[in-house]
Structure 1
Amino acid sequence: MSQDYEKFIQNIKKKTGIDLSLYKEAQMKRRLTSLYEKKGYKDFEEYYQHMTSNQMLFDEFLDRMTINVSEFYRNGKRWEVLQEKIIPKLLGQNKKLKVWSAACSTGEEPYTIAMVLSNFMPLSSISIHASDLDENAIARAKNGTYPERSLQEVPAEMKNKYFTKDGMFYKVDDAIKKTVTFKQENLLADSFEQNYDLIVCRNVLIYFTEEAKDTLYKKFSDALRPGGILFVGSTEQIFNPSSYNFETEDTFFYRKQ
């Protein structure tokens, strides 16, 4: 690791508590180098100095670091499995589900969970905890306005029922928005609540090192009740689930033993 980047990592950790060394170095360094070069800075040191006195620059750095790529019902087939197989089983064990959308980005994921759950219960009975590292992403999630491309995989009946077209954008229905409580959270540094029935954390872990993933799987396992489910993204299979007290319930779904 170059000294310049290492110093940058230390500074960021001191300032924010975010540990960039837990992310895959080549990817993160490339992403951030292109960001500071675009702004006309010559190295990480100069970039950091300007960032500390310019909130917009700092917010942009956080945005770039947390990679907000999201859409509703992403990888639709997995959401079908959640709806047809996983949720009915969970509801057989618990009438009121404790659900967490971890690293929820701009809100598409927790709102999708709410729509799936709306097939089983009134919206007033649904309560989802959603968290992300990036305050800008959370602000956008609370706003609930999305470009059409985010809705490509939304089933037609859900689109008609829970979205209103607003110019070039779509707004999520307030009744869906009320089901989700957003909070800023650092997955690697913060402690988690306990006894979740379902934790959804998709398309985030691919950016972490193996050590960081290992830590997170342990933390997620501890946060689930026995029989609870962890739902991960389509490139994030856990190859040794039993070492985290998980067994495979379905592809990308893991049940805590």
Structure 2
Amino acid sequence: MEVVEFESWILKNLNVDLSAYKPAQLHRRIKSLMNRIGVDNYVAYTELIKRDEAEQKRFLNYITINVTEFFRNPQLFFELQKKIKEELLVNNRNLKIWSAACSQGAEPYSLAMIMKEISPHGRHEIIATDIDEPILDRAKEGKYAYSEIKNISEELLIKYFKKKNEEYYIEPIIKNMVAFHKHDLILDDYFKNMDLIVCRNVVIYFNSSIKNEIYKKFHSALKKGGLLFVGATESIYNYKELGLDKVGTFIYRKI
């Protein structure tokens, strides 16, 4: 079985479009996983994930990138907080926020803490999505190791977390602000009328054509004047063509 056939089988049966990813990077990851379990070709690997549900889940978890932490790049989050306070909340007391490809929930919960701090009485809607159902289950649980909460100030940690057996649990006041849903950035329809979309350290794994398509869809999903916050390695160089203005280091506004 050739790589193309393998990708086609995955799309048809598991609903994941591998052709959207940067090929060299993607297939290094797949080969690494195959080597770990002692499989040396795509035919054998396809047969394995057909019959073994646990191995299928392992493949999906491994192939979808699930690395995140609270307030990743804290200075950039501080900049975002300032923009939310000085721009978005001036025009609307109740914001609609989408954390796309949210992984285990650190990002949307970071956004919820920001909103609770700067606009405690607002009725803000925070939608958090990811393609990976097991990781969404973990996000809903709201349980984190110290390595994941290292960027959180002592004040916020005391206010919004409970520590049990060296693990940190999000308090319900923050957890209840976030609604988690399964969503595929490539295949599914996008939400509409968003004030803020946060999608960080994800599109870097996609090829340029898919990346451009995702940014176009984000533009359509935003209200006029809405903000898009991307990762620290994901500058959008053609932002003007996409109908965006650059208003921060990695923050763009819909014109």
Q: What TM-score, normalized to structure 1? A: 0.96
Q: Deviations over 1:49-72 (max 9, x none)?
A: 110111111111111111110000
Q: Deviations over 1:1-56 (max 9, x none)?
A: xx622111000000122110110001110001110111111211211111011111
Look up the SS of the partner of 1:83 in the other structure.
Answer: helix
Q: Distance in 2 between matches of 1:56 and 1:168?
A: 28
Q: Deviations over 1:188-240 (max 9, x none)?
A: 11111211000000000110000010100000000001000000000000001
Q: What TM-score, normalized to structure 2? A: 0.97
Look up the SS of the partner of 2:2 in the other structure.
Answer: helix
* Aligned 1:236-247 pairs, distance under 5 A: 236-247=234-245
Point out 4+ residue stretches in structure 1 off by more than 6 angstroms. none
> Who is 2:71 aligned against?
73
Structure 2 residue runs without a partner (length 5+): none
Counterpart AA for 1:32: I
Structure 1 residue runs without a partner (length 5+): none
Aligned-pair identity in percent equals 41
Please identify, of 17-26 and 79-88, the stretch whose mean Cα deviation from structure 2 is larger. 79-88
Q: Distance in 1 between matches of 2:173 and 2:56?
A: 33
> Who is 1:96 aligned against?
94
Look up the SS of the partner of 2:247 in the other structure.
Answer: strand
Q: CA-atom RMSD, angstroms?
A: 1.1
> Residue 46 of structure 1 is aligned with which of 44, 47, 59?
44
Counterpart AA for 1:5: V
* Aligned 1:223-238 pairs, distance under 5 A: 223-238=221-236
| 1:29 and 2:32 aligned | no
Counterpart AA for 2:13: K
Please identify, of 101-110 and 185-194, the stretch whose mean Cα deviation from structure 2 is larger. 185-194
Q: Distance in 2 between matches of 1:226 and 1:111?
A: 25
Contact conserved, 1:73 with 1:112, CA < 8 A, in 2?
Answer: yes
Q: Distance in 2 between matches of 1:12 and 1:209?
A: 18
Counterpart AA for 2:251: F
Contact conserved, 2:146 with 2:166, CA < 8 A, in 1?
Answer: yes
Q: Distance in 2 between matches of 1:240 and 1:4?
A: 35
Aligned length: 255
